Amino acid sequence: MPQTDPRTPVRTAHSLGGEDLRRLLAESFAPELLDLSEEGRQACATDRGPRTDWTPAVPEAVVYAESTDHVQRLMRLASGRGFPVIPRGAGTALSGGGHALPGCVVLSLERMDRILSIDPEDCSATVEPGVINSHLGDAVAPHGLMYAPDPASYRISTIGGNVATNAGGLRCAKYGVTRDSVLALDVVLADGTLIRTGTATLKGVAGYDLTALFTGSEGTLGIITGITVRLRPSPARVETAAAWFPDFPTAAAGVLAIGAARVQPAILEIMDRGTMEALDGAHGSTLCARGSAMLLVQTDGYGALEEMSVIRAELEALGGTMTPVGDAEATGLVDLRRHARGDDVPTLIAVGEDVAVPRSRLVDYVHGLERMAVDHAVSLKVVAHAGDGNLHPSFWIAADEEG
């Protein structure tokens, strides 16, 4: 049988060409909800993820939903006429799930940006998918609460996008990934049917866990239009410290030592020398002057100081140099870590990965990456959420060597 290019959209008997599709959408949506311009369609053609074929498609149209009804309307049209729909949040994802397909319509949810309710007593909030992560955090802070998931893009990414990708974050070591903070979802299915999954209660174990199934599905199972999230008490105290090591393996040994000491940091991040050199060059910091690998550690809660004392003893026993930092420097270090997957470098192309390994295998995995970098004569940078073994390695290739 002849092979079909997987990038070619499946055409059904009801599929439409571009002109007919745009005409149908113009008949179905008000002009302010529809962008047919070349500039608008180009702007929504990709997210920040890599393209393996380097030939991005341009959507036929962009629909800007402002309500669940708009989402249902589009999905009913798509189901009946056979055209693909790509849901889109802020376009900050690195997974490539927001890349357009030939003949598709991009459904933008960025205008659905209302915080519908905050319940301080039940420690929950209900939001639309276009709410920016940091905006929710700011809204619940006066109640002594926080929304725990904090991906590096938390100032610009949406809660809906975080749920769709099951985003992690720096605080994942203690509070888990997005799935651990989602209580209930409103989801529009492919045929336009609206369902609600989960409950607004912290415990909800009856039946199948459809909320967990949809979280991380990147729009392949349905389109999320409402989210009830779990909020947590803002910590009474926060302690931040940086530990500097002569090499990556010793820093990784520090991760295991912290685990063996049975303390639970809120943040436990590791950076190699290549990452620190890049940050120093881009931001004027002096990370490399203090070591060749760094652990960024943060404890929180009433026992934060005591936990940090235990961590200090463990890391200094390994030869690490522990530096407690004040609030301003702590904020600066955390912000540097959020940039650590790499600022754009015009002369380089980054090929990144997002990998989870057992913490006990961090060193083995990085050794393998280092061998690959040497074999292919490229540079390597590694940063990781060491608390849960999630690494973000990236190989950097000269742009003139592409291909």
Q: Please tell me whether residues 271 and 310 are part of one structural domain.
A: yes
Question: How close are the terminal C-alpha atoms of the chain, in Å?
Answer: 30
Q: Please tell me whether residues 310 and 169 are part of one structural domain.
A: no
Question: What is the pTM assigned to this prediction?
Answer: 0.89
For residue 204, the model assigns a pLDDT of 82
Say which CATH number the domain at 33 has. 3.30.43.10
What integer is the mean pLDDT of 227-254?
95
Q: Please tell me whether residues 279 and 247 are part of one structural domain.
A: yes
**Over the stretch 186-237, which tens digit does the pLDDT of each residue have?**
999 999 999 999 998 888 888 899 999 999 999 999 999 999 999 999 999 9
Q: Please tell me whether residues 69 and 182 are part of one structural domain.
A: no
Burial 94-113 (b: 16+ CB within 10 A, else e): bbebbbbbebbbbbbbbebb
Q: Please tell me whether residues 263 and 376 are part of one structural domain.
A: yes
**Over the stretch 3-61, which tens digit does the pLDDT of each residue have?**
545 444 444 434 577 899 999 999 999 999 999 999 999 999 988 776 655 566 899 99
Other CB atoms within a 10 A radius of the CB of residue 221 amount to 14
Sign of CA dihedral 138, 141, 147, 151: positive
For residue 14, the model assigns a pLDDT of 43
What integer is the mean pLDDT of 339-344?
63
Going by C-alpha positions, the residue among 57, 59, 61, 111 that lies closest to residue 89 is 111
Domain's final residue, options 233, 253, 288? 233
Cα atoms found within 13 Å of the Cα of residue 72, Cβ hemisphere only = 9
Higher-confidence residue of 374 and 353: namely: 374
Residue 290: inside a domain, yes or no? yes
Q: Please tell me whether residues 395 and 287 are part of one structural domain.
A: yes
Phi, psi dihedral angles at 355 (to 5 degrees): -125, 140
Q: Please tell me whether residues 257 and 227 are part of one structural domain.
A: no
Q: Please tell me whether residues 184 and 266 are part of one structural domain.
A: no
Type of residue at 105 = V
Going by C-alpha positions, the residue among 68, 71, 61, 76 that lies closest to residue 106 is 61
Other CB atoms within a 10 A radius of the CB of residue 317 amount to 10
For residue 296, the model assigns a pLDDT of 94
For residue 346, the model assigns a pLDDT of 61
Residue 13: inside a domain, yes or no? no
Cβ-proximal residues to 35 (8 Å cutoff; 6+ apart), any chain:
41, 44, 61, 62, 64
Rounded Cα distance between 384 and 355, Å, is 9
Phi, psi dihedral angles at 129 (to 5 degrees): -70, -20
Domain's final residue, options 233, 262, 292? 233
For residue 323, the model assigns a pLDDT of 83
Torsion of CA 223, 225, 226, 231, to 10 degrees: 70
Rounded Cα distance between 208 and 215, Å, is 14
Sheet holding 61-64, edge to edge: 34-35, 61-64, 105-108, 85-88
For residue 337, the model assigns a pLDDT of 83
Residue 329: inside a domain, yes or no? yes
Residue 148: inside a domain, yes or no? yes
Domain that holds residue 259: 238-401
Rounded Cα distance between 94 and 353, Å, is 9
What is the secondary structure of 187-248 as a DSSP string?
EE-TTS-EEEEE-SSS---SS--HHHHHTT-TTSS-EEEEEEEE-EEPPS-EEEEEEEESSH
Q: Please tell me whether residues 338 and 250 are part of one structural domain.
A: yes
Q: Please tell me whether residues 254 and 311 are part of one structural domain.
A: yes
What is the total count of domains within the chain? Answer: 3
Token couple for 178: 């997005």
The average confidence (pLDDT) of the chain is 89
- Name the helix (H) or strand (E) containing 173: helix 172-175
Domain's final residue, options 233, 268, 294? 233
Q: Residue 219 burial (CB < 10 Å; 0-12/13-18/19+)? A: buried
Q: Please tell me whether residues 260 and 276 are part of one structural domain.
A: yes
Say which CATH number the domain at 119 has. 3.30.465.10
Residue 9: inside a domain, yes or no? no
Say which CATH number the domain at 339 has. 3.40.462.40
**Over the stretch 103-127, which tens digit does the pLDDT of each residue have?**
999 999 999 999 999 999 999 999 9
Cβ distance 274 to 295 under 8 Å? no
